[in-house]
Amino acid sequence: MDNHIQILIQSYDGKTIVKSFDKTIKICEILKMLKCDIKKSYLTFNGRILNVNETLKKYCIENNDILFLNSRLRGGIFPLLIGAVVLIMTFMITFLILLEDLIVIFVKLIEIIPLIFNPKKFINDIIFGVTFGIKMIFSGMFSNANAATSIRNETAKEAQGEIPKVCVPPTLMNLIFLVVCPPLALFLERGLGGLFHVIVCAILTVKMYYFPGFIFAALHILC
């Protein structure tokens, strides 16, 4: 009776090995023929790990059956568990950082809500912002017309040794930007340090049809 059979060995690295063996050969001898370390490798058949001291015949392995060559994990399952814990901790830290940023934004929004939805204060702000804004626009236009006279007066005072104390109002260009695009005027006035106020102004201008955003920008630029 011929005990020689041909089996297929599927390696863990994707290679397929076809070899003929005697049914009486031991699993450890097959691993040696495949140049595998017995302590680091093992064979499986139908989901069972084959004992290195048993033979192919013991496991009823027939011609053209498939064996799987696997590599033992170094350190067992603990490295996988440690890696999973590290990934979970990294995710939790990232989530907490994001949550902190969301809480800060939410607190800022809560601080703005009373200003917007307090009817009495909101109406007073509208009246004050509109009247003061119109006044400052006309004042800026007239101040540009008198710029030459002001420069001559300041030059005369400096010649007499006097240092005038002046308050610099918004420029005509900034006032024009305030009317045309309130968020842009607020950005030009405050810069990156006032980015949060610019975002709020943009939301009020776009979502609430211009005037709330205009008033919000005027209160920060003209006051």
Q: Class assignment of domain 4-71?
A: alpha beta
Query: What pLDDT score does 110 carry?
Result: 76
- Measured between alpha carbons, how far is residue 25 from residues 21, 137, 172, 207 in Å? 7, 100, 97, 81
| Average pLDDT, integer, range 37-43 | 83
Domain boundaries, the chain: 4-71, 74-110, 118-221
- Residue of higher predicted confidence among 171 and 39: 39
Is pLDDT at 64 greater than 70 in this prediction? yes
Query: Model's pTM, two decimal places?
Result: 0.34
CA distance 43 to 106: 59
Least confident span in 21-25, 43-47, 48-52, 171-175: 171-175
Is the predicted pLDDT of residue 133 greater than 80, yes or no? no
Q: How confident is the model at residue 193 (pLDDT cuts 50, 70, 90)?
A: confident
Distance from C-alpha of 207 to C-alpha of 139, rounded to nearest angstrom: 30
Whole-number average pLDDT of the chain: 77
CA distance 194 to 211: 20
Between 121 and 166, the more confident residue is 121
Tell whether the torsion through CA atoms of 210, 211, 216 and 222 is positive or negative. positive
198 neighbors 187 (Cβ within 8 angstroms): yes
